[in-house]
Each structure stands twice: as structure tokens, then as C-alpha cells.
Structure 1
Amino acid sequence: MQDDPILFTIFLVFSGAALLATVALFARQALLIAYILLGALFGPWGFGFVDDPAVVKEIADIGIIFLLFLLGLDLKPQELLNLLRKTTLVTLGSSLLFFVIGFSVAWLFGFSWVESLVVGGTMTFSSTIIGLKLLPTTVLHHQRTGEIIISILLLQDLLAIVMLLLLEGRGVDLASAGGRFILLLLALPVLILGSWLVARFLLVPLIRRFSQIKEYVFLLAIGWCLGMAELAGGVGLSREIGAFSAGVALATSPIALYIAESLRPLRDFFLILFFFSLGAGVNLEKLPDLLLPALLLATILMLVKPWAFRRLLERTGEDRERSGEIGWRLGQLSEFSLLIAVLALDLGQIGDRASYLIQLTTLFTFLVSTYLVVMRFYTPIAISDRLRRD
């Protein structure tokens, strides 16, 4: 039955997801929560049906790449620049506050100062995949909301890359680490400019000439998205930033809407795998020891994050209703928090307790924040017909 482990894993994920999603719908719960719980049940710390969640995670990361590509298709370059200027202070101010909270709680529970620094750093990010998966895209109010969320998340991604560099640079001479950082700062504008030039003078003419052959447009879009993602990864940036740049470069093309609609089912396929892999990575044996600090940290952050984002956005001129909604939609931790927790542990910068504290806190915020958003705001996967928008 398991001669083909990948096929067997896919069977388990989607058959189990279909069953548990049915239960979740009757219980009026968010489907994302069902996928995470399914991963915990089937993963190595549950029934052990999937003993290597890393394989699923590697496949599922493609879903995040497609998600950022599709978001870029909806955001014009000039709008992006205007929003980044507006949200820089919001992002930096909120990140500093969340860092202090994370550091203080970790230090209070006896973690070393290095571990407390890492814990604090991972608290500064919000989830790209949850924040945007739950956001309607076809309602004018939410188009503006989405643009603000995207700009904040993009700046947070840059901060996450800096933190990854700092972790990898510990024990490396200062000149080398500084040189890598300068190269990355130069690589980002070059990547954006290069993607725009290629899109304008090569991709758009090709699309215009062969636009009637939908299969060709579909393949070209996937190749462009994944190619830019790999290029960004090759120069030290995140693949997600490369995919986002690829989408923004095509945003002014008249075919952008068709590409976005074509890739959505493919994106959803991989995103289910992503949330399953999150649940499968939970070490249930560590839960009793870290339950109290993880719950405390998650609770404080989910109370403070919406308030902080609302106050800071109001200061930039956004209205109170939209600012409050954005705050709740960004009230969780991030996939980057999980990535940094695992990387820091692998590099020996933190112990397994600190790593699992970050992971458990992140998953707690995923579960609760998703539930709050689905039950209170318009989303494509709302249980209530009144709140369902796409």
C-alpha cells in the first residue's frame, strides 16, 4: 500500500481533509483549522501515518509561492511604492513592540538571552498565507485593505530575511556578514527592475501574440513565477519575494486577471498541503512542558497585535474600521516564525525548548486568529453566507 509514499501521503491528506472539513463545516469551524488538526493527528507525533512531514512541507511551499505571485498580479507597481512609504513606520513600530513582548516573556520563563532574542524576533511577523488567504479580493473595501496588508507583510518579509542572515552569520566574521547584507540590499531593486524589463519586453509581447492558446499562457505564467522564485532564492532573497516581484511585473498586463483565475485551484491544492505539514510538525510530547508559556505568549500577542496595528494605522490617516479589521487579520504569527525556529535549532543557536515554544505559540495564534477572522469578517471560506465573499 505504501510502495509509493508520496502518493499514499497525498491520499491521506486529501481524503482525510475532505472528511475532517465536513465535520468542521457542520461544527462551524474554519477549514484551515481542520487541515492543521489533521496534520497533528496523522503526523509522527500522532498516529504516525505520515512519518516525514518535511517531504509534504517542501511540496507545500509551492503554494506560498503561487499565493504571493497572485497577490502581485493584483497590485500595480506605483500603488505598491506609495503603500510601502506609508506603512514603513507602522511595520517598524509594531515590530519593535512585539519584539519586546516576546523577549520579556521568554526571559521571564528562564530562557537564555540569545534564546529570548530569537523568540522576540519571531514574534514580530504576521502570517502571509493566513492574512491573505482569508481576504476577499473582489470587494472595493477589501482591495484597499489587501493592499495595506500586502505592503506590511512585504516589509516584514524583508525583516525576516535580515534575521535569517543574522542567525546564519553568528560565528562568521563581521565583514563577511556585512558584505552579504549589502549584496542583498542591492539584489532586491535589481530583481524588481529586471523582472519589470523582462515582463514588458518579452513576456507581454509573447502573451499578446499567443493569447488565444490558453494552455501556453498558463505554462508561461507558471514558468515565470517559479523561475523568478528560484532566481530570488539563488541571490539570497526569499523565493516568495521573487514570486511577488514576478506578479507585480505582470500586473499591468490585460491578461493578469486570466492568469490569476487559472492558478487559484493550483494554489489551493498546495496550501492544503502546507497547513497539513504545519500540524504534522507539532511535537505533542513537548506540549505539557511548554503549554503555559506558549499560551501566555500567544494570548498577549493576539490581544496586543490588533490594538497596535489599529493605533498605528489610524495615525497614518486610515479610518478606524479598516484599521481595526487589518489589525485582527494580522493578529497571528508567521510561517517565518516557524522557519526561524527550526533554522536556529539546526544551527545550534537555541535549544529545542525555545524552538518548540516558538512553534507552539505560532500554531496557537494560527488556530485562534483564523477562527476570530472567519467568524467576524468577510472571507472566502466563511461559514456564514452573510460573511462569505470572494
Structure 2
Amino acid sequence: MGSESIVFSIFLIFSGAAVISSFALLTRQPLIVGYIVLGGLFGPFGLDLVSDSKILEQISHIGIIFLLFLLGLDLQPRNFGKLIGRSAFVTITSGVILCVLGTLICRQFQFSWLESGLIGISLMFSSTIIGIKLLPTTMLHHKHTGEVLIAILLIQDILAIITLILLSGTDHIGDVGAWLGVGISLPGLLIGARYTVRWIILPLLTRFDRFHEYIFLLAIGWCLGVAELAQALGLSLEIGAFIAGISLANSPIAQYIATNLKPLRDFFLILFFFSIGAGFNLGLIEQIWLPSILITALVLVLKPVLHAKLLSVTGESKSLSWEAGFRLGQTSEFSLLIAFIASAQGLIGVVAAHVIQATAILTFLISTYIVVFRFPTPIAISDRLRRD
């Protein structure tokens, strides 16, 4: 694909995304779904307007790197310590039950134990993007419901990142020497990043904090530099980006960096979700529709019930427990990442990957409608429920 083709492809993607996002917002749907649908429409299995999605897929991988970098920036250890005791029981218990049931369902459709297990794991997580976007700002910052949701989503994000780290290390799954190398490289990179930030990055940021462009460039350079170093040490780009974020999390400028990098992250994530849709083979519908519908039903019915019952056990009110349960009643963008990385590593086949993707799309769609029609959201149809 030449440079002109890349420019034309990006033109198609972002012009199309602008149009389809309008329809998504009018129908009260998350924009992620619009980007995936657009990929399916414009990709090689649709109109074939963007026939070579591989290069765009490689470019879009930068969005995943920035996503993990920003998650690391938001992970302040002192805050996480307060949240983990309160919500870990709910998160882990519900996740294990969903994982086991999802695995058993998939085994009935002749998926291998590994494929079934990874599909089951993908059901453990709820969408941080949908959960936060559908939460009114007042509830997000000043209500106990927001605190409970953020606590659960934060723990789920950490578990998802651990899963991605483990999946990224399976290139050498049978190589004991490689795993020993990882055992040395990972703590070494953590320690090295911490002291590099303390002795070099923070002094530079303090000295030149008036130059916003410099802060922006230094943050990007730090993120990508640690990501490349991690890959050179036998880890992965994702691990390096997450470590780069954690190392800056306690700095006074962490939130400023996170806020200013989000538009860049969103640019690349649009390409990522488009590439997910472009790789969705509609010819496999006959093979995936039944397991996808059954697993979708499992998530939509059981996930709210599990969260509601478990939150009630921990002392939360009945109304808060059910509201939180329904707001968490979908799979996650991390589920798509699990399918993407596991497929790239050869751990799951194309059919299993498509089951994960189809389940994510269906639960995004249906769960959003349930929340919009029942609970306060910024995009509610009813004036009674619309909250900013």
C-alpha cells in the first residue's frame, strides 16, 4: 500500500466514522460499535474500500500502547490500595463464575480447552469506556455509585492487563530460559523506569514545565521508549507502555499528561476498532451465531445478577447493587484486545476470535439500551433520566 493509499484509507475511515458516529449517538449507542461496524462495511469482507487493513492494524497498535500508558498513569498505588479490599471480592467472584460457565458452554461447540478458557476469560471484564461514558458526571465524581463502579472497573482493568501480559509472553511458552529472562527483565525494567523518572524525567518536566509542547513530546518519547526497551528485553510493547505509565503515576503532572494524550490515543484507537471490524469475516456467521448468542445471553442475564447479589452481600443497598450490575452488564474493549493478541499468538483460531468479537459487539449494543432506558445517563431519551 503506498502513501497515497494510506492517506485515502484514513480519509475514508475518519469521514465514515464522523457519519456513523452521528447515527450511533442518535440511537444512543457507544461509538466503539460504530467504528467496528464501519470496519466491517469498508473492509475486505464488505465493500472492500480498504482492502489492505494489515498496515492500518499495525499503525492502530499504537492506540493500544497509549491506552495502557494512560491506564498506568491513572493507577496511583495509594488510591488502588483503598479500593481493592472493598471490591476485589465482587470482581473476582463474579469473574470466575462467568469464566467457568463461558468455558463450559464453548466446550459444547467443540472449541479446544484453551480456546474455551480464553473465551471464558474474555467474559470477566466490563467495558470501562461504556461504564464511564454512561455515568453522569455528578454521579461519577460525587456519588457512591460512581465510587463502586470505578473500583470494580479499576480492578478488572488490572486483571485484564495481567492477562494481556501473560498472553504477550507466550511466544516462548515452552522456553524456560526465556521465562527466567522475563522474570529478571520485568522487575529490572520497573526499577529502572522508577529511578529514571525520579532522576531524569521529573527534573526535566520541572525545569521546562512552561513549554507544553515539550511536556507532550517527552511523555510520548518516554512511553514509546520504554515500550521498545521492554520488547528488546523479551517482554512486549504493551508491558513497557504500562510500566512507563505507572512510573509517572505519582508525579504532579500525571493528570495533565493523561488529559493531553487522550485525543492522540483516541485517534489510534479508532483505527484499532476499525481494523477489528475490517477483520470480521461475515462468512463465518453460520459457525459463530449460536455460541455467540448463548454467551451474549449469559453475560446480559448473569453478569448484572452476580454483581447485584455480591454487592448486596458486601453491604451495598439493593438499588445501588442492581444499578451497578446493569451498568457492568457487557464485555469489554479488553475482550477485543484478548481476541486480537491471542489470535496473533496462535492460541485461538479465527472462529473463536470471532465469537469473542461478536459477543462484545452484541453486549455493547444491548447493554447500552438497557442502561439508557432504565438509569440516569448523559444520553438518556427521557428528560427524567437525562443527567450530565
Q: TM-score, normalised by structure 2?
A: 0.82
Q: Do 2:72 and 2:249's aligned partners in 1 also have CA atoms closer than 8 Å?
A: yes
Inter-partner Cα distance in structure 1 for 2:148 and 2:243 = 19
Alignment of 1:32-51 (within 5 A): 32-51=32-51
What corresponds to 1:288 in structure 2? 286
What corresponds to 1:18 in structure 2? 18
What corresponds to 2:221 in structure 1? 223
What corresponds to 1:367 in structure 2? 365
Select which of 248, 260, 264 maps to 2:246: 248
2:111 counterpart SS class: coil
1:139 counterpart SS class: helix
> What's the offset of the Cα at 1:207?
0.8
CA shift in 2, pair 1:350/1:62, >3 Å: closer
CA shift in 2, pair 1:123/1:28, >3 Å: closer
CA shift in 2, pair 1:321/1:265, >3 Å: farther
> What's the offset of the Cα at 1:198?
2.3
Q: Do 1:167 and 1:344's aligned partners in 2 also have CA atoms closer than 8 Å?
A: no
CA shift in 2, pair 1:71/1:109, >3 Å: closer
Which stretch has the larger CA shift, 134-143 or 99-108?
134-143
CA shift in 2, pair 1:239/1:180, >3 Å: same
Alignment of 1:154-193 (within 5 A): 154-162=158-166, 165=169, 169=173, 172=174, 176-177=175-176, 184=182, 188-193=186-191
Gaps of 5+ in 1: none
> What's the offset of the Cα at 1:49?
0.8
2:280 counterpart SS class: coil
Inter-partner Cα distance in structure 2 for 1:161 and 1:54 = 23
- 1:199 maps onto 2:193 in alignment: no
- 1:308 maps onto 2:277 in alignment: no
What corresponds to 1:145 in structure 2? 149
Q: Do 2:125 and 2:156's aligned partners in 1 also have CA atoms closer than 8 Å?
A: no
Q: Do 2:168 and 2:236's aligned partners in 1 also have CA atoms closer than 8 Å?
A: no
Gaps of 5+ in 2: none
> What's the offset of the Cα at 1:360?
2.2
Q: Do 2:91 and 2:155's aligned partners in 1 also have CA atoms closer than 8 Å?
A: no
> What's the offset of the Cα at 1:99?
2.0
Which amino acid in the other structure matches residue 26 of structure 2?
F
What corresponds to 2:265 in structure 1? 267
Select which of 329, 332, 345 maps to 1:331: 329
- 1:102 maps onto 2:71 in alignment: no
Which stretch has the larger CA shift, 43-52 or 85-94?
85-94
CA shift in 2, pair 1:286/1:133, >3 Å: same
1:33-86 Cα distance to aligned partner (Å, 9 max, x none): 222211111011110111233322322232233233334334422122343455
Which stretch has the larger CA shift, 119-128 or 285-294?
119-128
2:29 counterpart SS class: coil
Q: Do 1:72 and 1:247's aligned partners in 2 also have CA atoms closer than 8 Å?
A: yes
1:110-166 Cα distance to aligned partner (Å, 9 max, x none): 434454344334333444555566667772343663344122211232134335656
Inter-partner Cα distance in structure 2 for 1:278 and 1:63 = 13
CA shift in 2, pair 1:275/1:349, >3 Å: closer
Alignment length, in residue pairs?
383
1:170-196 Cα distance to aligned partner (Å, 9 max, x none): xx3xxx35x655655665554444433
1:4 counterpart SS class: helix
CA shift in 2, pair 1:366/1:82, >3 Å: same
Inter-partner Cα distance in structure 1 for 2:135 and 2:238 = 18
Inter-partner Cα distance in structure 1 for 2:187 and 2:308 = 30
> What's the offset of the Cα at 1:236?
5.3
Which stretch has the larger CA shift, 242-251 or 97-106?
242-251
CA shift in 2, pair 1:215/1:338, >3 Å: closer
> What's the offset of the Cα at 1:318?
5.4
2:210 counterpart SS class: coil
Q: Do 1:123 and 1:333's aligned partners in 2 also have CA atoms closer than 8 Å?
A: yes
> What's the offset of the Cα at 1:253?
2.7
Which amino acid in the other structure matches residue 161 of structure 2?
D
> What's the offset of the Cα at 1:288?
2.6
What corresponds to 2:119 in structure 1? 119
Inter-partner Cα distance in structure 2 for 1:233 and 1:329 = 36
CA shift in 2, pair 1:352/1:188, >3 Å: same
Inter-partner Cα distance in structure 2 for 1:230 and 1:92 = 32
> What's the offset of the Cα at 1:324?
4.5
Which stretch has the larger CA shift, 198-207 or 19-28?
19-28
Inter-partner Cα distance in structure 2 for 1:254 and 1:3 = 40
What corresponds to 1:92 in structure 2? 92
Inter-partner Cα distance in structure 2 for 1:167 and 1:249 = 26
Inter-partner Cα distance in structure 1 for 2:90 and 2:184 = 24
Q: Do 1:91 and 1:156's aligned partners in 2 also have CA atoms closer than 8 Å?
A: no
Inter-partner Cα distance in structure 2 for 1:231 and 1:383 = 48
